């Protein structure tokens, strides 16, 4: 019985240890369930953020590419300015040539005036005025040529700047196209992580229920162990009583034997028979006490057996639950580890994408600054065109004045009669040149107006491109902010999965302790049943011995009665 009690104590200790371990498992699994739900919610939020970010970057790239295309169109328009400048230059050469011809005619007019002497005084004045106007026209043509050179240089500079800005934008767009693909890959990976989180949440929920059932079974095992301990204590007390009764039986038997021996030589048979009857009664009472104790021991052993069977049955059920929880923990540990590795890859891609977006922001900002500088250059080009316009107006005015002088020369030649014939020819030529000069001035003005229109068009495109570039910088900054938010949430997802992985590993370790405790409980239950069977056999043997002794006592008592009757 001492062995049964020790086994019950060992089972009780193992049960308490398993119960404490299951409390830990239940607490950890409950925390796992909350963490998996949180990870799933964060993953879903990341999916939305990734979709928004991918759409934002796609829109950004489309706008940057559109701006690059507009800049390319502006380059074509600006290049046309160079062609028109060349046309103006060619016309200006004609104007300069006309001025030279006019200057020569003015010299001829002066010669004719000198030849006419007093009749050529008016010719001389006209010739001098024409020469002055021709010099003005030639100087104006030279100024226009210089300005045309400035136009060519400005156009070349602007074309270079706009082409560089457009090329930079195209290069950044090409480099950044991979971002959308990577974000799509990240979104797919996040879908996998989210699915894993949902699966782990289901596993955690199942583990939580299983842990609750296992805890209940452990509590039932603990109750059975307490029942066994109580039954063992009661049995030990009864065994002590039985032992005392056995000693009393031995003493009574010894006394009865002595009295019986004395009865053979006793003179007073009646008195000796009474002594025998009294000793037999004492022995019978002791035997009755032994039988009562044996019955109590048998009842206690039945209770011990019932507790052992309950502990064994509940232990097997708990063991099955523990095995399932262990399987789920291993799955969660594996899935959590895979999610952590995926999260590390995603964080690396996010860092790369953020660098790419930062590069785009820098390129767009640089394009905006270059665009502003190009707009300034276009404004300067516009000022040059206006100066050309004013100079052309001066040439046209000179042409009108020259034409008027030619008319005056014709009047003077008519007044001089024979002396003015040569001057009349010169005046006609001057008037023709003045008309040609005026026509060329009109052509220049038309070209200048066309140039100004193109400049206004280019300026508008560049201003709009610059404005949009600044707007895209802000949009790109918003994208960067979203990427930073994605990175922040992604780190939370990684941390959550890492926590799940660690927690699952800890659950597995705790379950190992539970399994050890369950093995001890099972072993103690088997040992308890075996010991109880042995104790039950011993109790039955003692009861049988007591019954035999009781029968002998009855015979002795009957003999004593006969002796008393005979006496």
What DSSP assignment string belongs to 247-274? HHHHHHHHHHHHHHHHHHH-S-HHHHHH
Name the percent of the chain lying above pLDDT 70: 73
pLDDT recorded at residue 528: 64
**pTM for this entry:** 0.63
Rounded to an integer, what distance in angstroms lies between the CA atom of residue 101 and that of residue 98?
Answer: 5
Q: With b meaning 16 or more CB within 10 Å and e meaning fewer, what string describes 45-76?
A: bbbebbeebbebbeebbebbbebbebbeebbe
Rounded to an integer, what distance in angstroms lies between the CA atom of residue 217 and that of residue 325?
Answer: 14
Which of 272-281, 401-410, 513-522, 531-540 tops mean pLDDT?
A: 401-410
Is there a contact between 389 and 396 (Cβ–Cβ < 8 Å)?
Answer: no
Residue with the larger pLDDT of the pair 212 and 543: 212
For residue 547, pLDDT beyond 80: no
pLDDT recorded at residue 120: 62
Return all residues near 42 (Cβ < 8 A) that are at least 6 apart.
Answer: 489, 492, 493, 496
Query: Span 296-307, mean pLDDT?
Result: 70
Q: Which of 5-9, 87-91, 230-234, 396-400 has the lowest mean pLDDT?
A: 5-9
Distances from the Cα of 540 to the Cα of 155, 298, 533, angstroms: 123, 8, 11
Distances from the Cα of 84 to the Cα of 161, 395, 483, angstroms: 20, 19, 49
Q: Give residue-wise pLDDT tens across range 102-159.
A: 888 888 778 877 776 776 677 778 778 888 888 888 888 888 888 888 888 888 888 8
Domains along the sequence of the chain with CATH = 2-566 (1.10.287.950)
Query: Span 6-17, mean pLDDT?
Result: 61
pLDDT recorded at residue 316: 77
For residue 62, pLDDT beyond 70: yes
For residue 221, pLDDT beyond 80: no
Task: Report the chain's mean pLDDT, rounded to a whole number.
Answer: 78
Backbone angles phi, psi at 541, to 5 degrees: -65, -40
Rounded to an integer, what distance in angstroms lies between the CA atom of residue 5 and that of residue 229?
Answer: 6
Which of 111-115, 458-462, 517-521 tops mean pLDDT?
A: 458-462
What DSSP character marks residue 420?
G
Query: Span 189-210, mean pLDDT?
Result: 83
Band the pLDDT of 502: cuts 50, 70, 90: confident
For residue 68, pLDDT beyond 70: yes
Band the pLDDT of 465: cuts 50, 70, 90: confident
Band the pLDDT of 556: cuts 50, 70, 90: low
Q: If we measure between CA atoms, which residue out of 477, 275, 464, 505 comes closest to residue 372?
A: 464
Query: Span 454-469, mean pLDDT?
Result: 84
What DSSP character marks residue 119?
G
């Amino acid at each position: 019985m001492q062995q049964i009690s020790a086994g019950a104590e060992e089972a009780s200790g193992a049960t308490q240890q398993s119960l404490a371990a299951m409390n830990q498992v239940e607490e950890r699994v409950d925390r796992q369930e909350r963490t998996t739900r949180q990870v799933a919610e964060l993953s879903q939020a990341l999916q939305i953020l990734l979709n928004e970010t991918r759409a934002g970057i796609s829109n950004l790239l489309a706008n940057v590419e559109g701006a690059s295309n507009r800049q390319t169109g502006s380059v074509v328009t600006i290049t046309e300015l160079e062609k028109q400048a060349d046309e103006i230059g060619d016309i200006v050469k004609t104007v300069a040539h006309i001025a030279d011809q006019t200057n020569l005619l003015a010299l001829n007019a002066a010669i004719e005036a000198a030849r006419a002497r007093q009749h050529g005084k008016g010719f001389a004045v006209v010739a001098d005025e024409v020469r002055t106007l021709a010099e003005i026209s030639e100087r104006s043509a030279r100024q226009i040529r210089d300005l045309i050179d400035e136009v060519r240089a400005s156009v070349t500079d602007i074309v270079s700047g706009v082409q560089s800005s457009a090329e930079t934008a195209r290069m950044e767009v090409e480099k950044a196209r991979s971002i959308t693909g990577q974000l799509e890959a990240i979104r797919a990976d996040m879908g996998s992580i989210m699915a894993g989180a949902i699966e782990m949440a289901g596993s955690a929920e199942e583990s939580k229920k299983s842990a609750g059932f296992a805890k209940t079974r452990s509590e039932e095992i603990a109750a059975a162990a307490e029942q066994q301990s109580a039954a063992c204590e009661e049995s030990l007390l009864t065994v002590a009583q039985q032992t005392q009764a056995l000693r009393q039986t031995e003493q009574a038997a010894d006394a009865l034997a002595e009295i019986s021996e004395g009865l053979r030589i006793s003179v007073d048979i009646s008195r000796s028979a009474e002594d025998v009857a009294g000793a037999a009664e004492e022995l019978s009472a002791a035997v009755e006490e032994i039988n009562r104790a044996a019955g109590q021991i048998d009842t206690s052993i039945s209770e011990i057996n019932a507790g052992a069977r309950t502990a064994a049955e509940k232990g097997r059920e708990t063991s099955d639950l523990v095995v399932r929880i262990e399987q789920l923990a291993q799955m969660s540990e594996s899935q959590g580890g895979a999610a952590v590795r995926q999260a590390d890859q995603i964080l690396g891609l996010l860092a790369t994408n953020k660098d790419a977006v930062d590069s785009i922001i820098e390129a767009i900002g640089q394009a905006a600054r270059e665009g502003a500088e190009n707009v300034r250059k276009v404004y300067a080009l516009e000022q040059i065109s206006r100066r050309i316009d004013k100079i052309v107006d001066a040439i046209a005015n000179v042409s009108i004045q020259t034409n008027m002088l030619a008319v005056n020369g014709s009047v003077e030649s008519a007044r001089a009669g024979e002396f003015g014939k040569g001057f009349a020819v010169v005046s006609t030529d001057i008037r023709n040149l003045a008309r040609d000069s005026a026509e060329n001035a009109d052509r220049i003005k038309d070209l200048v107006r066309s140039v100004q229109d193109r400049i206004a068009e280019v300026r508008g495109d560049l201003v709009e491109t610059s404005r949009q570039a600044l707007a895209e910088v802000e949009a790109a900054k918003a994208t960067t902010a979203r990427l930073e938010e994605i990175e922040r949430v992604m780190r939370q997802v990684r941390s959550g999965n890492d926590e799940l992985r660690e927690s699952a590993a800890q659950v597995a370790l705790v379950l190992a302790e539970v399994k050890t405790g369950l093995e001890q409980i099972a072993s103690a239950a088997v040992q308890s049943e075996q010991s109880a069977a042995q104790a039950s056999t011993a109790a039955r043997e003692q009861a049988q011995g007591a019954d035999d002794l009781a029968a002998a006592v009855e015979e002795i008592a009957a003999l004593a009665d006969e002796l008393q009757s005979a006496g």
